[in-house]
Chains A and B, each alone.
Chain A
Amino acid sequence: MYKNSINFMLLFSRQGKLRLQKWYVPLSDKERKKISRDLVQTILARKPKMCSFLEWRDLKIVYKRYASLYFCCAVEDQDNELITLEIIHRYVELLDKYFGSVCELDIIFNFEKAYFILDEFLLGGEAQETSKKNVLKAIEQADLLQEEAEAPRSVLEEIGLT
């Protein structure tokens, strides 16, 4: 059976607090909590300079620390570790560009935006759009729509609501 490229992605702080979690495989809430707990512990116990990959259960974990935040992806055994590492980096770049030198607080206070950006970039555990410009364009368009929120309904929306 074809497997997901990315099974899930977790962002957590050095204190082990989860800041963002995105699951691309169906798991119960309990399983998710257990996985997050185990994995956060495993990664926090590793020393800096260790390699960014580790085998964990039957998955491969790819992680990288950016300032106070750890970004971590679980991929399948067959998947390419280095390109996953760069998936993480591209996501960091997207956040950075959107928030302007992103920091942990931006993600805490605007968690919904972090999710929106991620959804534009990755969908169902696969890269949807790798161009930074295109992803940000989609998010900016949404922000524009937000500002026009009070504008009267367009004809298209009318149709959409019928």
Chain B
Amino acid sequence: MPAVSKGDGMRGLAVFISDIRNCKSKEAEIKRINKELANIRSKFKGDKALDGYSKKKYVCKLLFIFLLGHDIDFGHMEAVNLLSSNKYTEKQIGYLFISVLVNSNSELIRLINNAIKNDLSSRNPTFMCLALHCIANVGSREMAEAFASEIPRILVAGDTMDSVKQSAALCLLRLYKTSPDLVLMGEWTSRVVHLLNDQHMGVVTAAISLITCLSQKNPDEFKTCVSLAVSRLSRIVSSASTDLQDYTYYFVPAPWLSCKLLRLLQCYPPPEDGAVKGRLVECLETILNKAQEPPKSKKVQHSNAKNAILFEAISLIIHYDSEPNLLVRACNQLGQFLQHRETNLRYLALESMCTLASSEFSHEAVKTHIETVINALKTERDVSVRQRAADLLYAMCDRSNAKQIVAEMLSYLETADYSIREEMVLKVAILAEKYAVDYSWYVDTILNLIRIAGDYVSEEVWYRVIQIVINRDDVQGYAAKTVFEALQAPACHENMVKVGGYILGEFGNLIAGDPRSSPLVQFNLLHSKFHLCSVPTRALLLSAYIKFINLFPETKATIQEVLRCDSQIRNSDVELQQRAVEYLKLSSIASTDVLATVLEEMPPFPERESSILAKLKKKKGPGAVSVPELDDKREAGLSFNQRIGGSIPASPCRCSTPSPSADLLGIRSAAPIGATPTSTGSLLVDVFSEAGPAAPSAAVNDDGFLRFVCKNNGVLFENQLLQIGIKSEYRQNLGRMYLFYGNKTSVQFASFTTTVSCPGELQSHILSLNVQTKPVEPLVEGGAQIQQVLNIECLTDFSEAPLLNIKFRYGGALQNLSLKLPVTINKFFQPTEMTSHDFFQRWKQLSQPQQEAQKIFKANHGMDTEVLKAKLLGLGTALLDDVDPNPENYVCAGVIQTKGQQVGCLLRLEPNGQAQMYRLTLRCSKDSVSMRLCELLAQQF
């Protein structure tokens, strides 16, 4: 091959690359690169016009620098110039640079599109291919707008060269994926289907990707492809290994095309036409037969290509799920692979069998491989293979083998890789629940899970065991006995303490008859764990204690003593303190009747889908848990007679409470911010008229911050104690913000102070803030509101937000709160109205890459037009109608006023309703502003 020494071999480039390779350090490399960049910049800026060769060389160097991971912010224009060169290699380098470096938003797109247009109409196939490659590589919406109607024409024109057709097909596919709305179906579509019959295998290979994509979207329109695909496949499958010449790969005829044909067929149900179906079944049988034939070559490429087709055929067989004979054959074939010496094949066989397990025709056949799969779980050296084995065990599990599989998974858990433990725990928990014949086995399994992998047992799992025990009275005694025993272990996991506390608090009476587990023994056992536990667990234990007082009056004195001691009643944690105080009071004030009502046993949980299953689905995506669901169908009636609830177990106290954290168990560690305190007149409210809420942490809270980017007034923060409202107005570079602090309690806040600080750069005068009013009153009475005014002046643009820190004493406890104040750069916008012409002219003027910031992101809210408009107006810019040629898009313009300068900003927001995505582009005369606005806004829609 000629290759490297070829004509142009850009010597300068080679020298530069060697230089870089010879650099001893990162610093030296950067130095060398900067030198080169300076050199290239001066060449590009120089008076002397560069010849094409030099331009090509420099553009290529820039590309190399970029691919090393450095930023390149110039050279785009030179690259675009190369596109119109009539020298192929110059053009080629130009296109390469464009496809690697110019992202879809560049202003240069128009120039590029022109060059592409010229090349497409040049009728020179090599130029046409280059242009098509570029469109496919960039694939931007602008390109789709320009070429989506042209390319189908090229694709189906009678005189188009094969190589151009291939590029055109895949280019169109790319545009269809980016902008399906711009690629219109038409007369060309039926002709595209017939490309499946094309004599040129390369054309078929390229076209079928396009056809598959179009079929998924418009199955009816492309239905005819099924019979064409079947006959094409049949011809390939039955061809001798040399018939297809260069499309034969290591003695396998057209493996890529075969796989794609089989994939296309998976877009459709089995063919209705008997003849077509017969032919297809024949093909599939032939493929299965070939797997049994001796290999034609020892090369791994031969077996890989052959097996690629086999696996794709098996996917199709599973997709049809209607041919028991084929399904069982597929399963046997995969069974052979399970013990193959190639790791790759074992991996794929495990993976593929997972889907086979969900077919009722092959489920039993899959189950016969259980020993092999268990062995794989134990002996495979590669964790990804073990993971597949665990997945398959999960998929093949049913009532007949559940005990064995759960036992194996449990023992695997002891040594399992950390990365997969949590998922394994979820799976074990689901299987145990699903196939529990007796609930004692279920309880044992879950407690084992906690013992073996306590850290990985998520809340959902231990909530679930509690729900089930509460709903099934036949297992409550056993559960109490088992947790009691489990808690005897000197070191037991905190999750075990939680389950133990809850269950003994509810059902400890069921084992209290045995002197070895008398009420006091139970209490002492629980309390021996108390001091080692975290706050939420201690809170739960306190609730268990008050339940004990109800269950076992003889423990009352002991427990009251515990509650009364300083470490409880004066605990620095408000939640614990509150519980201790309340429970102590409750136990001494309330009569036995009241106590019994308040602390009655928990009612059964409502029926709901298992929250564990929901969690696994979330973790693995839908489909991953399809198997147990299928089991539901098969074994309905055998399953739990009660599908029980998946919600968090609520507090064992059947009362609403004035405490802001409504669940006394402390299961939710913090009450939702903004929740108003409930004050329904229930029993406890009468007993204690005031309650100490949890202390808000001093960590900076910026929940409210983002809600104020597009609005000026509202509630910035709210918890059980305090509400902070904001009103603000801005004019030019000045702003005034009113802060309203409301005391929501009936108790005075003491030592109330607020400070506003500007972190980091902000402090160095970027934003000057002065709190004009005198310091707020140090006392805020219950139910009162006080006000504070802040004057703001924007000196220059900024990205940070000022911090508001609030400190006060409430019932003796110091409250400390930090909030980001919603002062954002866009507050200083002046809207600017302009015409479409002006807008685009300015847009073009702001074409330096760093002036632009762009983000593509998923819609977080509905994509309602009016809401979007309101937000954009709230931003402070002018929303310009009739500017963007696409009416779906929004464009805005405004000027940010700072003391030192004005920053012009243009904004374009392109929603894609279908994909639920947005593309947001900002161009500002100052780069930092583009970036900041883009960041802020990307979180608004």
Interface residues of A (CB under 8 A from B): 1-2, 4-5, 18, 20-21, 26, 28-29, 33, 46-47, 49-55, 58, 80-83, 85-87, 89-90, 97-100, 106, 108-113, 115-116, 119, 123-124, 126-134, 138, 140-143, 145-147, 149, 153-154, 156-157, 159-162
> A2 with B177: in contact, given A142-B92, A161-B86 (CB under 8 Å)?
yes
* C-alpha spacing A97/B1, complex, angstroms: 7
* C-alpha spacing A127/B203, complex, angstroms: 10
Stretch touching chain A among B377-385, B435-443, B721-729 = B377-385
B593 within 8 A of A: no
When the two chains form their complex, are residues A146 and B7 in contact, meaning their CB atoms are under 8 A apart?
yes
When the two chains form their complex, are residues B126 and A141 in contact, meaning their CB atoms are under 8 A apart?
yes
A130 partner residues in chain B, CB cutoff 8 A: 201-202, 205, 247, 249, 254, 256-257
4 smallest CB-CB distances across A and B, nearest first, come from A160-B122, A82-B308, A145-B88, A83-B308
B290 partner residues in chain A, CB cutoff 8 A: none
When the two chains form their complex, are residues A81 and B118 in contact, meaning their CB atoms are under 8 A apart?
no
A128 partner residues in chain B, CB cutoff 8 A: 166-167, 170, 202, 205-206
When the two chains form their complex, are residues B257 and A156 in contact, meaning their CB atoms are under 8 A apart?
no
Query: What would be 6 A-B contacts, judged by CB atoms less than 8 Å apart?
Result: A85-B304, A112-B93, A130-B205, A143-B3, A146-B6, A157-B122
A33 partner residues in chain B, CB cutoff 8 A: 69
Shortest C-beta distance, A1 to chain B (Å), equals 7
With A83-B312, A112-B96, A160-B118 given, name 17 new contacts (CB 8 A).
A51-B344, A81-B311, A85-B308, A99-B4, A109-B14, A112-B92, A123-B132, A124-B137, A127-B205, A127-B209, A142-B88, A143-B2, A145-B126, A147-B7, A156-B124, A157-B127, A160-B122
**Candidates A2, A98, A159, A160; contact of B3 at CB < 8 Å:** A98
When the two chains form their complex, are residues A160 and B121 in contact, meaning their CB atoms are under 8 A apart?
yes
**Candidates B84, B259, B346, B347; contact of A80 at CB < 8 Å:** B259
When the two chains form their complex, are residues B126 and A142 in contact, meaning their CB atoms are under 8 A apart?
yes
A49 partner residues in chain B, CB cutoff 8 A: 343, 381
**Candidates A134, A143, A160; contact of B124 at CB < 8 Å:** A160
- Which residues from 104 to 144 on chain B have a C-beta closer than 8 Å to any C-beta of chain A? 104, 118-119, 121-124, 126-127, 129, 132-133, 136-137, 139
B864 within 8 A of A: no
When the two chains form their complex, are residues A131 and B201 in contact, meaning their CB atoms are under 8 A apart?
yes
When the two chains form their complex, are residues B8 and A149 in contact, meaning their CB atoms are under 8 A apart?
yes
When the two chains form their complex, are residues B122 and A156 in contact, meaning their CB atoms are under 8 A apart?
yes
When the two chains form their complex, are residues B67 and A18 in contact, meaning their CB atoms are under 8 A apart?
yes
Measured CB to CB, the nearest residue on chain B to A154 is: B124
A110 partner residues in chain B, CB cutoff 8 A: 3-4
**Candidates A4, A52, A85, A116; contact of B96 at CB < 8 Å:** A116
Measured CB to CB, the nearest residue on chain B to A58 is: B621
* C-alpha spacing A144/B925, complex, angstroms: 46
Interface size class of B (residues with CB under 8 A): 35 or more
**Candidates A2, A20, A82; contact of B311 at CB < 8 Å:** A82
* C-alpha spacing A150/B414, complex, angstroms: 72
When the two chains form their complex, are residues B89 and A86 in contact, meaning their CB atoms are under 8 A apart?
no
**Candidates B14, B67, B206, B384; contact of A53 at CB < 8 Å:** B384
> A99 with B206: in contact, given A2-B177, A51-B384, A128-B170 (CB under 8 Å)?
no
**Candidates A54, A89, A129, A145; contact of B205 at CB < 8 Å:** A129
When the two chains form their complex, are residues A157 and B124 in contact, meaning their CB atoms are under 8 A apart?
yes
**Candidates A26, A111, A140, A149; contact of B67 at CB < 8 Å:** A111
A-B contact count (CB 8 A): 222
* C-alpha spacing A101/B597, complex, angstroms: 85
* C-alpha spacing A157/B130, complex, angstroms: 14
* C-alpha spacing A160/B115, complex, angstroms: 9
When the two chains form their complex, are residues B170 and A21 in contact, meaning their CB atoms are under 8 A apart?
no
B23 within 8 A of A: no
When the two chains form their complex, are residues B256 and A83 in contact, meaning their CB atoms are under 8 A apart?
yes
B791 partner residues in chain A, CB cutoff 8 A: none
B21 within 8 A of A: yes
Shortest C-beta distance, B233 to chain A (Å), equals 15
Shortest C-beta distance, A100 to chain B (Å), equals 5
B213 within 8 A of A: yes
B50 within 8 A of A: no
* C-alpha spacing A26/B444, complex, angstroms: 50
B305 partner residues in chain A, CB cutoff 8 A: 82-83, 86
* C-alpha spacing A51/B337, complex, angstroms: 14
* C-alpha spacing A153/B69, complex, angstroms: 38
B119 partner residues in chain A, CB cutoff 8 A: 160
B63 within 8 A of A: yes
* C-alpha spacing A142/B93, complex, angstroms: 12
Measured CB to CB, the nearest residue on chain A to B64 is: A111
B126 partner residues in chain A, CB cutoff 8 A: 138, 141-142, 145
* C-alpha spacing A82/B310, complex, angstroms: 10
A2 partner residues in chain B, CB cutoff 8 A: 177, 212-213, 216-217
> A82 with B348: in contact, given A49-B343, A141-B126, A149-B89 (CB under 8 Å)?
yes
When the two chains form their complex, are residues B92 and A116 in contact, meaning their CB atoms are under 8 A apart?
yes
A146 partner residues in chain B, CB cutoff 8 A: 6-8, 87-89
B132 partner residues in chain A, CB cutoff 8 A: 123
* C-alpha spacing A146/B9, complex, angstroms: 10
When the two chains form their complex, are residues A5 and B209 in contact, meaning their CB atoms are under 8 A apart?
yes
**Candidates B71, B89, B170; contact of A126 at CB < 8 Å:** B170
When the two chains form their complex, are residues B60 and A112 in contact, meaning their CB atoms are under 8 A apart?
yes
A106 partner residues in chain B, CB cutoff 8 A: 4
Measured CB to CB, the nearest residue on chain B to A21 is: B67
> A4 with B122: in contact, given A108-B21, A145-B89, A146-B88 (CB under 8 Å)?
no
When the two chains form their complex, are residues B246 and A132 in contact, meaning their CB atoms are under 8 A apart?
yes
B771 within 8 A of A: no
Shortest C-beta distance, A127 to chain B (Å), equals 5
B876 within 8 A of A: no
A28 partner residues in chain B, CB cutoff 8 A: 855-856
* C-alpha spacing A98/B6, complex, angstroms: 12
When the two chains form their complex, are residues B170 and A26 in contact, meaning their CB atoms are under 8 A apart?
no
B129 partner residues in chain A, CB cutoff 8 A: 138
* C-alpha spacing A143/B206, complex, angstroms: 24
When the two chains form their complex, are residues B256 and A127 in contact, meaning their CB atoms are under 8 A apart?
yes
When the two chains form their complex, are residues A86 and B3 in contact, meaning their CB atoms are under 8 A apart?
no
A54 partner residues in chain B, CB cutoff 8 A: 384
B173 within 8 A of A: yes
When the two chains form their complex, are residues A51 and B343 in contact, meaning their CB atoms are under 8 A apart?
yes
Measured CB to CB, the nearest residue on chain A to B97 is: A112
When the two chains form their complex, are residues A159 and B123 in contact, meaning their CB atoms are under 8 A apart?
yes
* C-alpha spacing A112/B59, complex, angstroms: 11
Contact with A along B276-307 (1 / 0, CB 8 A): 00000000000000000000000001001101
B174 within 8 A of A: yes
A124 partner residues in chain B, CB cutoff 8 A: 136-137, 139, 170-171, 173-174, 177
Shortest C-beta distance, B361 to chain A (Å), equals 22
- Which residues from 493 to 532 on chain B have a C-beta closer than 8 Å to any C-beta of chain A? none
A160 partner residues in chain B, CB cutoff 8 A: 86, 118-119, 121-124, 127
Shortest C-beta distance, B515 to chain A (Å), equals 54
Shortest C-beta distance, B648 to chain A (Å), equals 28
* C-alpha spacing A64/B179, complex, angstroms: 34
B49 within 8 A of A: no
When the two chains form their complex, are residues A53 and B308 in contact, meaning their CB atoms are under 8 A apart?
no
When the two chains form their complex, are residues B127 and A50 in contact, meaning their CB atoms are under 8 A apart?
no
> A126 with B206: in contact, given A50-B384, A58-B621 (CB under 8 Å)?
yes
* C-alpha spacing A84/B937, complex, angstroms: 39
B163 within 8 A of A: yes
Shortest C-beta distance, B890 to chain A (Å), equals 20
When the two chains form their complex, are residues B249 and A90 in contact, meaning their CB atoms are under 8 A apart?
yes
Shortest C-beta distance, B649 to chain A (Å), equals 33
B915 within 8 A of A: yes
B255 within 8 A of A: yes
B590 partner residues in chain A, CB cutoff 8 A: none
B347 partner residues in chain A, CB cutoff 8 A: 51, 53
> A50 with B382: in contact, given A82-B307, A127-B206, A157-B124 (CB under 8 Å)?
yes
B687 within 8 A of A: no
B17 within 8 A of A: yes
When the two chains form their complex, are residues B122 and A26 in contact, meaning their CB atoms are under 8 A apart?
no
**Candidates A50, A86, A97; contact of B343 at CB < 8 Å:** A50
